[in-house]
Every structure is written in structure tokens, then in C-alpha cells.
Amino acid sequence: MISTDTSMESVENVAMEVEEKAEMGNRLFSEVVNLKNGSLMVDDGSQANSSFVLNHPVTDVTSYEAYTKVVKSAENRTSKLKDKGFGDVVKERGRALLRSLFSFSFSFWKQNEEPVEDVRREAFLPLSREEETMVKRAFSASDPTILVAHENSNIDITGKILRCLKPGEWLNDEVINLYMVLLKEREAREPKKFLKCHFFNTFFFTKLVNSRTGYNYGAVRRWTSVKRLGYYLKDCDKIFIPIHKNIHWTLAVINIKDRKLQYLDSFKGREPKILDALARYFVDEVNDKSKVDLDVSGWRQEFVQDLPMQRNGYDCGIFMLKYIDFYSRGLDLCFTQEQMPYFRDRTAKEILQLKAE
């Protein structure tokens, strides 16, 4: 016959062991899983598609394995204690432990899932009737009528300029450049909600790489002074560069956050020379502004293939703008050709209100 003190000590030892291992499981859970900016980050740094995260219940394998290890390690000892009349004590401690684990897991996902869902929803907010009427009237304005003027960028949008957003039209520099300014202002209003980005205008790349003289960092050196921007480019998550090739708009991205250079073409074209020039530019920029010799030789060039494609000859510009919009939100490119008429009207609305949403 065992003494009561010895038996109770054994129970407490098992309970302490269970709780210690559960705490280890909680730490693993919080370290391995980090839902951030619309993507599920796992321990190898890869990202799961955010639409999968939102539409499918997620079971964390690591936390499950941690739990099963706890059960197995205590199983033999708890069974012996139960035989000796201490089953109710162990059972109650186990129930309390499970309640604690469930509460932790549920609260973690609840806190992180809702903001991501909100960001996705905001990317597709429908126009109100009043906004639709406003856009329709603006599209009918006379050519020289100034519909809106953005003071800081010195860009005026006339009736003629805005009509590039009507279905079937090619986007012009003024609309693209003003939209880029509005995206930066959106980030400044809500810095915790959007990635820290820099948005170059449509003239940057043609200044950097001239068809006659080639690469020339000096031509754009002053564009990014700290006095002018208020920050260093190297401190951004992503830098967006619109590329205009004859009659086709594409996008290049200096993705500092993921250490890669990306090229997005709604026809899935590839232009390695563009990414080579931008890699060289970023090295020169960091050296000039921060006096640091940056090595980007290990950065990957990515010609993004998993992206929405255009199925006509005029929507390349709006595709490019939405690539920028969604990437700056930290979202995957979860839209299609069928949504381009909506995005054209929405962009017109945001320009008329001088506010990207």
C-alpha cells in the first residue's frame, strides 16, 4: 500500500509534466504559425495562399503533435495512478489543460483571421448608386473640363484624361501616376494596414534606362532624396516600377521584403534585362543614400506566372494597377479579367474623390 503523500506527489509530478509540455506546445504554436499581411507564414518562410486560409479551417499539425506527445509521455504513469484511485484528479487536470489549449488556439486564429478577411473585402467594395452616378457623369464631361486637381503632385484630371478608364480604352500616364500617389497617401493614413512601399511614376524607368544612352543612375539620383521622400528606399517592403513597352503596360517590383526582383506581365512576358537594370539601380541607390555596399547577387529573379491574365488588347494598364494595389495590401492576386469593368469604375471613383481605399 502506497502512502497518500507519495501518491499525491506522483499526481502533481504528472500534472506538472503535462503542463510543462503543453506550454512548450503553445510556444511552438506561436513561433511556427504567424498569420501576417494576408498570408500564412510557416517555419520554412513559405506562404500559403490566403484564399485557402480564409476558406478552409486550418489545423496546426505542430500543435497536434505537441499534444499527442504530451498524452503519450503521461499515459503509462496516469494509468497506474488511476488504478490506485487518483483517476478523478488526473482527469480534471487533463480537462483543464485541454480547455487552456483550445482557448489559446481559438483566440489566436480569431484575432488574426478577421483583419485579413477585412483587407480582402475592402479590395472588392462595390460602388454605391451615388458613386456610380458620379463616375458616369464624369465620363460624359467635356474634354477640357478639369474634374479634379491634386495639388501636391500637380496632376490635373480632365474629362478627356479620365475617359481612359472607360471599357476598351488604354490607360494614360496621368491616371496611372495619380493613382500611384493616392496609394502612397493611403499607406500614410493607415501604415499598420498596408505594406511600406514606394511607387515610382511612369517616367522613372525611361529616365533610368534610355533607349539611346543606356543605364544612367545619375538621371534619377535626385528623385529619392530623404528630404523629398522622408524615408530611404532600402527601408521599404516593396518598390513598384511601371514599365511601358510600346503599347503595353507591365510591372517590375523590387521586393526587398522577400529579397527578389519580380516582373509581372498580364501576357506572361519575360524581360530579364529590366530586372538586371533594377538590381543595379537598387545597389547604386543604397550606396548613394546610405553608403552601404549592398550585395543582391543572391536575390532571385521571378517572372510571376501565377497571376491573372488579360484576354483582350486594352486592359494591361488596369491589370498593372491592380497588381500594385493587391501587392501593397499584402494580398495574393485574387481577381480575374471579368472584374476589370468594376476596377475601371472603382479607380475612376477613387481618382474623383482623391482617395484610394
Q: Catalogue the active-site residues.
A: 248, 265, 316
Contacts of 110-117 with CB under 8 Å at 24 or more apart are: 112/35, 112/36, 113/35, 113/53, 113/54, 116/35, 116/37, 116/38, 116/50, 116/53, 116/54, 117/54
Q: Quick one: 103 exposed, middle or buried, by C-beta within 10 A (0-12, 13-18, 19+)?
A: exposed
Q: How far apart are CA 104 and CA 26, in angstroms?
A: 8
Q: How far apart are CA 255 and CA 268, in angstroms?
A: 19
**DSSP secondary structure string for all residues of 85-140:** IIHHHHHHHHHHHHHHHHHHHHHHHHHHHHHHHHHHHHTTPPPPHHHHHHHHHHHT
Question: Could you tell me the CA-to-CA distances from 38 to 25, 207, 239 in Å, in that order?
Answer: 24, 34, 19
Positive or negative: CA dihedral 312, 317, 318, 322: positive
Q: How far apart are CA 163 and CA 170, in angstroms?
A: 9
Q: How far apart are CA 193 and CA 132, in angstroms?
A: 27
Q: How far apart are CA 214 and CA 136, in angstroms?
A: 43
Positive or negative: CA dihedral 322, 323, 324, 327: positive
**Which residues lie closer than 8 Å to 347 by C-beta, 6 or more apart?**
165, 175, 179, 318, 321
**Which residues lie closer than 8 Å to 184 by C-beta, 6 or more apart?**
197, 198, 199
